[in-house]
C-alpha cells in the first residue's frame, strides 16, 4: 500500500508520531476507551517509533507503533483507528505501513478481539491469551518466607536483572527496561547472590501497573508481586498475565485483582513464547505494547 489512503471523501497520510501533539493522541486513545494518559503516550514515544494517520487539516484518525526489542525482534502496539476510518480499511493500511517500516522479520503483538481477524490475515499466529487483572487491592494473603532474599534494586544497578530477563523474555531488551526503570519501583529476588527474579511497579493509565514480573516459578512470582502489593491496600492496580490458572493467578484473585478483559498474544516470524520448566518466565507483562 502507498503512503496515503482515501477514506470516502478525504485522504489520510502517514505522519511520524513524534511530530503530533500528544493531546491529539490522548484524544484518539480515549475515544476507543483505552486508558493511556498524555504522560503514557510520551513515555511510549520515547521508547518506540510510530506513525499516525492524519487528514489534510491535521485531524488524527489512527496510530500504530513498534518497539525494537533487539536487532531482529520488535513488538507492535497502539494500533488504534477511529470507528469512521476503521470501517474503510484504515487499520489494514496502518499495519501495512508498520510492516514496511519496521525492518525486522520477527514480530509480536497483543491483539484485541476486534483486531484479531486482521492480524490473522496478515500472517500473525495465535500463541496465548493475556488476562488483564485489575481492581482495588484488598488484603494480601500472608506468605511464608521467600526462597531467597527480596529487596529493592536501585536504578543504577539495573544491569543486574538483564540476564534473568533475557532468559524469560527471549531477547535482551535492555534499552526498554532501562527506560521503564526510570519511573518504576524495582524489586529483585536473589539466591546465592544471583538475581533469579524481579518485578517493577509504575504509574500507568491513572492506576499502578505491576510488570514485568519475571521468575522461575509461581512461588517466586507471588513473592515478587506481594512485595509491592502489601503496601498498596486500597489502591487501583493492574497486572497483565498469561497465567489463566495456578497459584499465581489464584493469588491475584485473592488480592482483589480479577480478570476484566483479555487480549491475544500473536507472532509473525519465529515463535515468541518458548516456556521452559527450568528457565525464568514472564509472569506479568510490561504492557500490551511492550509485552
Each residue's pLDDT tens digit, 3-60: 665 555 568 899 999 999 999 999 999 999 999 999 999 999 999 999 999 988 889 9
Q: What is the predicted pLDDT for the residue at 2?
A: 46
Q: Is the pLDDT of residue 291 over 50?
A: yes
- Residue pLDDT, tens place only, 112-159: 999 999 999 999 999 999 999 999 999 899 999 999 999 999 999 999
Q: What is the predicted pLDDT for the residue at 5?
A: 58
Instruction: Find the mean pLDDT for residues 227-236.
Output: 97
Name the CATH code of domain 132-284 (choices 3.90.76.10, 3.40.50.300, 3.40.630.90, 3.90.920.20): 3.40.630.90
Structural domain spans, the chain:
4-104, 132-284
Q: What is the predicted pLDDT for the residue at 139?
A: 86
Q: Provide CB contacts within 8 A for 102, sequence distance 6+.
A: 49, 66, 68, 74, 76
Q: Find, among 55, 45, 48, the residue nearest to 19 by Cα.
A: 45
Residue 197 cell numbers, joined: 527474579
- Residue pLDDT, tens place only, 65-105: 999 999 999 999 999 999 777 667 889 999 999 999 998 99
CA distances from 104 to 77, 190, 207, 243, 256 (A): 15, 35, 33, 28, 40
Domains 4-104 and 132-284 share a fold: yes
Question: C-alpha 221: how far from its chain's center?
Answer: 18
Q: What is the predicted pLDDT for the residue at 89?
A: 83
Name the CATH code of domain 4-104 (choices 2.40.170.20, 3.40.630.30, 3.90.110.10, 3.40.120.10): 3.40.630.30
Q: What is the predicted pLDDT for the residue at 1?
A: 42
Q: What is the predicted pLDDT for the residue at 116?
A: 97
Q: What is the predicted pLDDT for the residue at 30?
A: 96
- Residue pLDDT, tens place only, 262-277: 999 999 999 999 999 9
Q: What is the predicted pLDDT for the residue at 11?
A: 86
pTM of the model: 0.94
Amino acid at each position: 500500500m502507498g503512503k496515503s489512503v482515501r477514506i470516502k471523501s478525504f485522504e489520510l497520510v502517514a505522519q511520524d508520531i513524534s511530530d503530533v501533539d500528544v493531546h491529539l493522541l490522548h484524544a484518539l486513545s480515549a475515544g476507543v476507551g483505552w486508558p493511556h494518559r498524555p504522560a503514557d503516550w510520551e513515555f511510549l514515544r520515547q521508547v518506540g517509533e510510530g506513525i499516525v494517520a492524519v487528514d489534510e487539516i491535521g485531524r488524527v484518525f489512527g496510530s500504530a507503533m513498534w518497539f525494537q526489542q533487539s536487532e531482529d525482534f520488535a513488538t507492535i502496539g497502539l494500533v488504534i483507528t477511529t470507528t469512521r476510518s476503521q470501517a474503510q480499511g484504515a487499520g489494514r493500511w496502518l499495519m501495512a505501513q508498520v510492516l514496511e517500516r519496521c525492518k525486522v522479520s520477527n514480530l509480536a503483538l497483543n491483539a484485541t478481539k476486534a483486531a484479531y481477524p486482521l492480524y490473522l490475515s496478515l500472517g500473525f499466529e495465535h500463541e496465548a491469551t493475556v488476562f488483564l487483572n485489575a481492581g482495588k487491592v484488598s488484603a494480601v494473603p500472608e506468605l511464608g518466607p521467600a526462597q531467597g532474599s527480596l529487596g529493592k534494586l536501585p536504578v543504577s544497578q539495573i544491569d543486574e536483572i538483564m540476564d534473568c530477563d533475557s532468559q524469560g523474555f527471549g531477547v535482551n531488551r535492555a534499552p526498554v527496561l532501562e527506560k521503564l526503570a526510570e519511573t518504576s519501583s524495582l524489586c529483585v529476588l536473589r539466591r546465592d547472590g544471583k538475581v533469579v527474579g524481579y518485578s517493577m511497579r509504575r504509574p500507568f493509565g491513572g492506576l499502578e501497573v505491576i510488570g514485568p514480573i519475571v521468575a522461575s516459578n509461581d512461588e517466586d512470582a507471588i513473592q515478587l508481586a506481594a512485595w509491592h502489593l502489601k503496601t498498596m491496600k486500597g489502591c487501583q492496580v493492574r497486572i497483565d498475565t498469561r497465567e489463566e490458572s495456578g497459584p499465581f493467578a489464584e493469588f491475584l484473585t485473592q488480592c482483589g485483582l480479577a480478570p476484566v478483559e483479555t487480549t491475544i498474544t500473536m507472532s509473525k516470524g519465529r515463535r515468541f513464547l518458548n516456556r521452559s520448566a527450568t528457565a525464568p518466565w514472564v509472569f506479568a507483562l510490561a504492557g500490551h505494547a511492550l509485552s
